[in-house]
Amino acid sequence: MSLKIITDSACDLPQEIVEEYDIIVLSFPVYIEGKEFLDGETIEPREVYDAIRADLVPTTAQVPLSSFIAAFRKYASEGRACLYLAFSSKMSGTCATAHLAADQVRSEYPSAQIAIVDTRSGSLGQGLIVLEAAQMAREGKGTEEIVKRAEELSENGVEHVFSVDDLNYLHRGGRVSYASAFIGSLLSVKPILHVKDGLIIPFQKVRGTRKALERIVELVKERASGDPDQLIAITHADDPGKAQQLQDLLREKLGYRNFLVNVVGCVLGCHIGLGGVAAFFVGKEQAAAAN
């Protein structure tokens, strides 16, 4: 039996891909006005964005230990190896919880083959790593080869380049000062951010949505392989029109033609607010290593 791929709902992979590759997705709890939901099971992104529009403050918690134990125990009991590809440990304690669960299951099943990789990524950055691992598993690649490739991609191999609309959400998460958030909102300043070593880092501001999209395109040009068939993933925070604009620019200016587009899911949607847009892709070096 091939390696079983497990991830969590921060990966933002479309349901059709999850089903096509039979990926196990463990749900983060989401809380709105004290009521608990399970991401992708009892709540969808639209409901989170509706709550934000209603001036509520949705929050999330770690994937429960019991969810990991149940998943790992199932495949250990079947004698099947599994690989959990985790949301960045710098943004959540979920990866550490998975290690605790793996240790418990190994105490019950000493021969259990459970691998855990901290993707140092989120949203479709994480999703691209999960997708490649699932594709390799389908092709019959060995566990060691798949885990090695996932680790390579997780070492800053997947680029995250994005912008958000409301700087106050970044302020709430401690990303920018209150002054910069206030001024940014007044002047329609859009921060450009990326992820390094598993952390979200703001590194530039531009004025207006169009310039933000154009700057993302410039960064894709600098950091991606340039192969028009390279998969470029795009997510949006309940703004499909903005995602379409970005896709059109990437196609027109850089010639890319292979896209994976989805809404930012509940996990990150709770923390970035409305209107953000992002591009994710394997960086030049790792793209070359795959060929």
Quick: pLDDT tens for 133-150. 999 999 999 999 999 999
According to DSSP, the β-strands at 29-32 and 59-60 are antiparallel
- pLDDT at 264 (0 to 100): 97
Task: Looking at the structure, tell me whether residues 139 and 266 fall in a common domain.
Answer: no
pLDDT of amino acid 204: 87
Predicted local confidence at residue 237, as pLDDT: 96
Compute the distance between CA of residue 151 and CA of residue 245 in angstroms, rounded to an integer. 32
Both 135 and 192 in a single domain? no
CA 151 to chain centre: 15
Domain that residue 115 falls in: 4-28+63-154
pLDDT attached to residue 173: 56
Q: Which residues pair with 116 in a beta bridge?
A: 84
Query: Cβ atoms within 10 A of the Cβ of 126, count?
Result: 29
The pLDDT assigned to 203 comes to: 81
- For the chain, which ranges sit under pLDDT 50? 175
Tokens linked to 88: 């960045």
pTM assigned to the model: 0.94
In a domain, 184, yes or no: yes
125 plus 228 within the same structural domain: no
Q: Whole-angstrom Cα distance, residue 273 to residue 170? A: 9
Q: Tell me which of 154, 182, 210 is where a domain ends.
A: 154
Q: Domain holding 184: CATH number?
A: 3.30.1180.10
Is 178 a domain residue? yes
